[in-house]
Amino acid sequence: MTLSDNSKLRVGLLMDSLTLPAWAYEMLVTVQHSAYAEVKLIVLNDSEEPKRRSLFARVVRNWGIILYLAYCKLEDRVFAPVPNAFEPRNAAELLRDVPVIRAKPRRSKHSDRLEDDDIEKISQYHIDVFVRLEIRRLVLSSWRQYREPRRTRRVLGGSRRPPGHRVDTPDPDRGPG
C-alpha cells in the first residue's frame, strides 16, 4: 500500500536550535524516511536567553540536588551508555529542505506565549501535529487560527483549553470525520 503526499501526516517541530539529543535525531530520521509522515515546518525559538545567575546563587538555590547531580555525573563516567541517547547531534543537514519560522515568544514564569503574527505565519502551513523538542512550554495566544476546516487537530497547550484538547473539524474535501 502506498500513500500519496496528501495523506501524509504534516509534522511541525518546536525547537530552540537544530542541535538535538541523539534520540530526537533518530526519531526525526524515522519520520523523514517514513511513508506516513513528513516534517513540514520548524518553529525556532529566537528569543534571548535570560541572564544566568552567578555560580554561588545557583549553588545556593539548587543545594538540595547537588549531590544527586554529582552522583549522576559519576554514574555516567563509570557506566557510560553505548550508544548515548543524549549525545548532541546537528539536524541541519537532515532538515535542510524544511521551512523555518523564527518566533520570539513572550516569556513568562512557566511558559512562553507565541504572538498572533507568529501564529498566523504558522497556520499557513496547515500542520497536523507539533512535536516539542528542547523548548519550553508554548501557549497559543489565539485559539481561533487552529479552528479551520482540516483534519482532526491535536493542539498542545491551547489558550483556556486543557493540554491535549482535541478539536474535531470535518475536512470539506474528505467528508465528515
Mean pLDDT per 10-residue run, the chain (177 residues)? 68 92 94 94 82 74 80 85 87 94 83 84 92 70 45 42 46 50
User: Residues 160, 161, 163, 169: what is their CA dihedral angle, to the nearest 10 degrees?
Assistant: -140
Q: Does residue 69 form part of some domain?
A: no
Cβ–Cβ under 8 Å, residues 130 and 13: yes
149, part of any domain: yes
Domain annotation covers residue 62: no
pLDDT value of position 152 = 40
Total domains in the fold of the chain: 1
Using CA atoms, how far apart are residues 121 and 100, in angstroms rounded to an integer?
Answer: 11
What phi, psi does 148 have (nearest 5°)? Answer: -85, 155
Residue 172 lies inside a defined structural domain of this protein: no
- The whole-angstrom separation of Cα 25 and Cα 19 is 9
